[in-house]
Structure 1
């Protein structure tokens, strides 16, 4: 814009200078022509008067030289009088003092052509310009008896021209300075808003929609600035709204739990989300200008996409796909994208992870099967022994007592199973609340130790406790005793005769840690992730014979989670197992 301003000012100054120079030339020429016309008219009149005076005084030779000299001084001209033959009779100046041979040549030409219409002639030398005027001298019979020649140096004309150019130069200089000052102000005044509007337009083109121009006048430039600012505000609002919508859409797509894939009508990948890239172990740089079958290496998915391309109909299919070291169930939903004018734009494919639903469904099936199996065994035993007694075995007192003992044992087992199921159902029920109070965790362990020592006596297992502190915490005493009874009872069950079980308690600023460690049979790494499942038994025969229902660790886990704590397990085969319970000192909920 500075270059434009300079060009505009330069053009204005050039135009003004050209106008002033043209005006000066025109005025100079007009003045010169006016001066020459006036001079010629004056000299002609003076020559005519002088010729009349000479004619009255006689022939050219009889004229008084003093009179001619006096007239020359008065008129400020050089007077030369020629006779009829063209010889110089009188001359107010020496002939050599004029211009020498040129003067003689001009005089001869004048004498030869004295009768021309315009009786004046010009002589220009290297130094000056001279004008010659003549008038014939006639006698009474109107016969030519001589020639009057008047000559003058046109120096006044040159002086006048010089004065004109001097005045024009001064005027041009002053006008130039004034034009530069005014032109600079005018160009700045009218080009600055344009420059500002141009800069704002450039910033808008770059994407900077916060740019604004000044609005300081009420004219056309202000209207331009106002329009530019309105445009900038509208663009900013539109871009902000678009960015907000884009951010919302991007956040929604990137953080949705299902994997999303968008394919255009040519089969190129257009859009994916983080879930999709994580599942297929892809980076965004790998998804530029690639077709869907180059990134999806599962034939089932590619067949689904191809079928949608061919049928242009929505499809839904459940597919089992490998994922790292595991396999996941997906419900793949694909739909064609059709534009307003039935224009085919592409396909959207959504992968819904239903692995957890499948697991829950399988857990429900396993639970029903396990409950049925666990109930079937004692019920079958009770029914079988009852039928045997009714068939006549009750008449034998020893057989009767033995069968009744078995029936009682199976009834107790059935009662324990139902009790644990009801307990687990109660804990898992929505709205389950703990009776929280501030107690010493070490005291709760000490309360259940006598019961557990009696259980450990038949196997001669040593129960050892080591409490570094009392572990004051906000817990549900009854539920936490259930946890310790279950964990220590399991340790006794799975520890061989003569083994050891250690119970330790530690605490830090925020938590209390209780560890139950045994030197029993241990748990294999494959079984560790499943020990908290319902009815899962590491050693099914031993736990069932010990009266276990397979629900103890499931109950323990739910109680600890209700306390917002953690339970961890470490184990090695034939080396023992360690359960670590972490409890918050302050109950957070």
Structure 2
């Protein structure tokens, strides 16, 4: 019994010494990664076992041969344990990193949702207040002049159209974010898509005195869904026309680069601040411009470019913005049609 007690004391003393050294090492490495901490903990455990075995073997006066066998056995177990620990530590560190990135992404999305709700509420409340005021004025015969009545009706229609577009954008964005978007992929000539988008944007461009220029030929063919691609180009054109000053020009170009087809919309808006370029495709981002539309054709709900990115990525493509001399350029890259 006395021998067993001495052996236990020797082992505890050796383990305590190694454990103390490990605690100091962990404190010095407290700012390092989770993988480093796991490896240090495993190394302390293995070294404590080795130290305990060596101490007990020395106290038991084992023969050199027996001591060598014990040490080789413990060393082999230590190598295996450290290898397993290193792999586990790396996986644990990767999992922790993914979890941190997931939490950061979730916080960004939540902040984006809050901003979206606040801005959309603001954009809906303002035209609704105007519609109510005009409707009450017409109902109470406060306004009787035919020209003023006609102007009220026109403004009511404009505000109603703007709210309808905002609701449509919200529905489209919710489909994209929910993964409910289903694309009917076929071979689509970009020339047809651009023609339809230009026709949709023509009234806005004519009202603002902006010229939309596009080549007559040389359009590539892509694999995609024509209605969604038409909306992509139309949103880019609307955005370009809205921010281009009167008598300005919006240009459309396209081509093929290796296995990708590209389409670019360039305007003369004066450029986007460099700090805002990475955020132009964020939901409800509208830069330094006023958030409240002041007239027909003024900046909308800040969802158009977010929808562009969602639809382009749903096609397996990508979109980016860059500043050019006197304006900016939005470039969409899509998979070219085979053959």
Tell me, yes or no, if the aligned pair for 1:503 and 1:515 is still in contact at 8 Å: yes
The aligned counterpart of 2:59 is none
Q: 1:462 to 1:352 in 2, by over 3 A?
A: closer
- For the residues of structure 2 that align with 1:560 and 1:485, how far apart are their CA atoms? 13
Tell me, yes or no, if the aligned pair for 2:256 and 2:336 is still in contact at 8 Å: no
The aligned counterpart of 1:511 is 260
Cα shift at 1:541: 6.6
The aligned counterpart of 1:502 is 251
Q: 1:511 to 1:231 in 2, by over 3 A?
A: same
* Aligned ranges 1:74-473 → 2 under 5 Å: 238-239=77-78, 241-258=80-97, 354-393=103-142, 395-466=144-215, 469-473=218-222
Instruction: Give the TM-score, by structure 1 length.
Output: 0.41
- For the residues of structure 2 that align with 1:517 and 1:405, how far apart are their CA atoms? 32
- For the residues of structure 1 that align with 2:332 and 2:76, how far apart are their CA atoms? 56
The aligned counterpart of 1:557 is 309
- For the residues of structure 2 that align with 1:467 and 1:395, how far apart are their CA atoms? 50
Q: 1:467 to 1:389 in 2, by over 3 A?
A: closer
Q: 1:352 to 1:417 in 2, by over 3 A?
A: closer
Higher CA-based Rg: 1
CA offset digits 1:532-565 (Å, max 9, x no partner)? 2223224337965215332111110111111121
Residue 585 (structure 1) aligned with residue 333 (structure 2): no
Q: 1:352 to 1:522 in 2, by over 3 A?
A: closer
Unmatched 5+ stretches in structure 2: 1-64
Residue 575 (structure 1) aligned with residue 326 (structure 2): yes
- For the residues of structure 2 that align with 1:396 and 1:523, how far apart are their CA atoms? 44
Q: 1:402 to 1:534 in 2, by over 3 A?
A: same
Instruction: State the aligned residue count.
Output: 271
- For the residues of structure 2 that align with 1:353 and 1:253, how far apart are their CA atoms? 15
- For the residues of structure 1 that align with 2:100 and 2:171, how far apart are their CA atoms? 38
Q: 1:354 to 1:423 in 2, by over 3 A?
A: closer
- For the residues of structure 1 that align with 2:267 and 2:196, how far apart are their CA atoms? 20
CA offset digits 1:282-334 (Å, max 9, x no partner)? xxxxxxxxxxxxxxxxxxxxxxxxxxxxxxxxxxxxxxxxxxxxxxxxxxxxx
Cα shift at 1:377: 0.7
Cα shift at 1:235: 6.1
- For the residues of structure 2 that align with 1:352 and 1:424, how far apart are their CA atoms? 23
Partner secondary structure for residue 400 of structure 1: helix
Partner secondary structure for residue 393 of structure 1: coil
Tell me, yes or no, if the aligned pair for 1:513 and 1:583 is still in contact at 8 Å: yes
- For the residues of structure 1 that align with 2:74 and 2:159, how far apart are their CA atoms? 81
Cα shift at 1:578: 0.5
Cα shift at 1:244: 4.2
Cα shift at 1:353: 8.2
Q: 1:544 to 1:355 in 2, by over 3 A?
A: farther
Cα shift at 1:357: 3.5
Tell me, yes or no, if the aligned pair for 2:186 and 2:225 is still in contact at 8 Å: yes
Residue 480 (structure 1) aligned with residue 229 (structure 2): yes
| Structure in which a larger fraction of residues adopt strand | 1
- For the residues of structure 2 that align with 1:437 and 1:444, how far apart are their CA atoms? 13
The aligned counterpart of 2:44 is none
Cα shift at 1:396: 4.7
The aligned counterpart of 1:534 is 283
CA offset digits 1:335-355 (Å, max 9, x no partner)? xxxxxxxxxxxxxxx988844
Q: 1:571 to 1:388 in 2, by over 3 A?
A: same
Tell me, yes or no, if the aligned pair for 1:565 and 1:581 is still in contact at 8 Å: yes
Cα shift at 1:447: 3.2
Tell me, yes or no, if the aligned pair for 1:506 and 1:514 is still in contact at 8 Å: yes
Cα shift at 1:254: 3.8
The aligned counterpart of 1:490 is 239
Q: 1:392 to 1:443 in 2, by over 3 A?
A: closer
The aligned counterpart of 2:62 is none
Higher relative contact order (CA 8 A, sep 6+): 2
